[in-house]
Every structure is written in structure tokens, then in C-alpha cells.
Amino acid sequence: MDNKKVPDIVITRLPRYYRYLGELLDQDITRISSGELSRRMNVSSSQVRQDFNHFGGFGQQGYGYNVEYLQTEIGKILGLDRGNSAIIIGAGNLGRALACHGGFAKRGFKLVAIFDNNEAVLGTKINGIEVQSVDALEEFLKNRKVDIAILAVPKASVQGVADTAAKCGIKGFLNFSYGELKLPEGTEVENVHISDPLMTLSYKIKKGRDE
Amino acid sequence: MDNKKVPDIVITRLPRYYRYLGELLDQDITRISSGELSRRMNVSSSQVRQDFNHFGGFGQQGYGYNVEYLQTEIGKILGLDRGNSAIIIGAGNLGRALACHGGFAKRGFKLVAIFDNNEAVLGTKINGIEVQSVDALEEFLKNRKVDIAILAVPKASVQGVADTAAKCGIKGFLNFSYGELKLPEGTEVENVHISDPLMTLSYKIKKGRDE
DNA sequence: TAGATTGTTAATCGATTAACAATC
DNA sequence: TAGATTGTTAATCGATTAACAATC
């Protein structure tokens, strides 16, 4: 937990560790060595130890790592212990799928509202949360501190709603819409492009056939 | 287009190039230099040229790259020109969202069937395609060559349907379900974990606040 | 204590960047 | 031709792996 710059690539591996450690807990495994974890995750044990040591080291010589402690600490690094609040904008199929996605709550994310501008869904409930009009977004955010906006609207409207959300203080955006967002300094955006892995998959099966 | 091993990291960047080049075409930009492209994509121009040169080079000195030609060639490398056929297994919110996702067709993927085992949706149409029973999957695959299965079913059933699909010759799997698949040699799996970018986002906004 | 396994340093490997000659 | 920009080599940088002393 020190402040020497941790490489981005290490950060992007943390969610994967977090996931595997959760699996171990589900199997009632309370303790694991870097060797065993690396075998399961298909990486080198050196990498596992190096990664963890960017944060000071969570293990004990001769013993290994306590699974629960390690997962909790990784969660803290990722800021999951803060219980990020989130809203979903867009209640189409994707927005609904995200609203119902169990993994978010499991990682401490709290879905506090869903917005859409389709009359037909306004007032209906998704996973217990009533869908509000996008027109109510600004007012809502005035009264409620929200950390993250999950954007699941068509490309044409995404910049607009993101601007509103940013203006009202939202700092994190998970964008599922096509196209890049232009947002003010100090906001963070993660873009999810679901065709990307499909394309790399296409490459791999093509290569597999050619060989 | 040679066969010296191209680094994986280059392959994972190709979809992003493909995307940006598409945007350029939409703006009727027919020609671009590595410098200009790198500025837009926020990478170095050296990287752009190096990446393309893994495949022999697509440009012309003093001119730059022809956008359409470059995109087509990248598409070929990714195997998009083959017109991969795909099925979706799981017609819940996520499956529906994927079935309606315009980006797939745009990249040459042909959705040929949707399967689910929920009585309520059997026979209904999603994006013009009738939902079939998962029981019909094996029979369907006997008569039809399919390249890719997109898995959008609950964790509990994902290994089962993937086994069936693999047995019937499907070589590529895009897995949206939690948990890792064990599949035979020669099959390729891409796992999509939508909480992962949410977690890195949490890290970034936390860091932003701390600084 | 002896055995195991971490934390950490040093060596290797690969990817990115810089630079420039080739050439359109 | 002169200017622009690639293709490509060489230099730098950073990440991964190997190795082992520290220590539980």
C-alpha cells in the first residue's frame, strides 16, 4: 500500500486475482501459495509474487497467502471497500442485463437508479429499481452523490447524457456505447467494446484452422 | 501477411485500429498518416507503423495509408472476410442485447440461431431469429457449420452447453458467463468479464480522489 | 529444527520509442 | 524536384522470469 507508481498492467490483473480468490473461497480453500495460484491462473509464480509486492506483500514465508485476507486487500486497492454507488443510463436489453448482473453487488457496487427515455419502460421496475426519465437525471444527481455512471444508451445520445452526469459530479464512466467520449479532466472512462474479443476470437480460430 | 509470429499484444490492438478506421470512413476521410492516426488514438506513431509492419506494411512513403484499404486488410488478418457464423446460447437480457448488437453484423459475423431453455421465450423472435430449445442444439449443429458460440447462460449451465457445442465442432467460444471453461484442445475461448473494467474504474476514481 | 515459500534482487526478454535512410 | 511519410533498424525502456537469501 505504498505510493510508488504501480504499473497499469498490474492494476488490470487485479480483478482477475480477485475473481480467482473468490473461487477459492467458494471451495473453502483458506490458504494458497504463489505456485499453486499461478498454476490455476496459468501465469508464472514470479509474476504473482511481483504483482503482490507492488503493494508491500501480503504473504508469509513458508506459509503462502491467506486467501480471504489477500482478496480483501486487493479489494481495498481497487477501492471496492468504499462501496461505490452507480447508476445505469439506458434500460434496453443491455441496461437490464447489467442491472441484473450479480457480480456488481458482489463487489460492493450499489446500483441506486436506472434512467431511460422510453415512455414504455418508465415506472417499471428492474431488479427492484424503478426506471426514471432521463429528464430527472440532473435533479437526482443534485441530491445524491453517485460515483459511477454505466452508459448503455445508443451512440447518438451517449455524449449528451455523459455531459450531464459529468456536470453533476460523476467521476467514473463505464461506457458500453460505440464511439469515444469527450469528458472533462478528472473524469475516468472505461470503454467496453464487445465486438473486440469477438474479433480476436475470429483471428484465433482462423489461425487454428490454418495451422 | 507473413507467418513470423505476430505478438499477441499487437493482435489485441487490431480491433481498435479497425474501429478508428471505420470512424474515419464515416467522416469521408480516405487517407491518413501514422502521425495523424496516432494522435487520434493516443498512441505513438512509431507504434502504429510497427504494428502494421508485422504484416508487411500497408502504406506508401510520402502519402500515408489508404483508410479503406487498411481497414480491409486488418479485417482480413482478423478473419472477418470469412464471414464467421455464430449462434447465441441464452436468450435472457444479455443474449437479447447481443443478438441486437449491430456491431457484429457490421464486422461480418452472421448470427444463425439463438437457443434457450426457457419455455416462455421459445418460438419468439429476436432480431428476426426464432429462439429454439437448447435440446435442439446438437441436431442443429449436425446440419450446419457454425464457427462461434456466444455463451450468455447462467454459470451453472455454461459448461454443459459448451461441451455440446464443442462436441459438434464449434471452435470458438465467446463466454459471458462467470467461471472458466474446460474445453478440448483446438478450441479457442475468450472470456468477457464485465465487472473487470468496473473494478479498474473504481481504482482510477479512487486514485483521482486521493491525489 | 527442517521444509516451505515468500520478498526481492539480478538477468533476460520483449515491447516501445527514436531515428533516419528509402522512396513515393 | 522538394516535401512528406513510410518501412526498418538501433536504442531505450519496462515487464517478466529466474534465482536465492530471508524467514516463518
Identify the band that residue B3 occupies on the pLDDT scale cut at 50, 70 and 90. Answer: very low
Distance between CA atoms of residues B177 and A161, nearest Å: 29
What average pLDDT does chain B have? 95
Instruction: State, as a whole number of angstroms, the distance between the CA of A37 and the C1' of D14.
Output: 25
Nearest protein residue to the C1' atom of C2, measured from CA? A62
pLDDT in tens, A82-133: 999 999 999 999 999 999 999 999 999 999 999 999 999 999 999 999 999 9
Q: What separation, in Å, do the N-terminal and C-terminal C-alpha atoms of chain A show? A: 46
Least confident range from A2-11, A102-111, B117-126: namely A2-11
Whether A144 contacts A115, CB under 8 Å? no
User: What's the rounded Cα separation, in Å, for the pair A3 and A18?
Assistant: 21
Q: Any atom of strand C under 7 A from CB of B9? A: yes
> Which cell is B156 given?
451453472
CA distance B104 to chain A (A): 6
Scan for cell 445505469, then name that residue: A88
Q: Which of residues 48-77 of A touch strand C (CB under 7 A)?
A: 49-50, 52-53, 56-65
The set of cell numbers assigned to B198 is 468496473
Cα-Cα-Cα-Cα dihedral of A171, A176, A177, A182, to 10°?
30
pLDDT of A4 reads: 53
The whole-angstrom separation of Cα B74 and Cα B58 is 10
Inform me whether the pLDDT recorded for B11 exceeds 70: yes
Q: Does A124 touch chain B (CB under 8 A)?
A: no
Per the prediction, chain A carries an average pLDDT of: 95
Q: How much is the pTM?
A: 0.94
Amino acid at B37: L
CA B136 vs CA B89, B113, B123, B125, B129: distances in Å: 11, 11, 12, 16, 15
pLDDT at position B98 is 98
R_g of chain A, CA atoms, integer Å = 20
Supply the pLDDT for residue A1.
36
Fill in the DSSP letter of residue B173: E
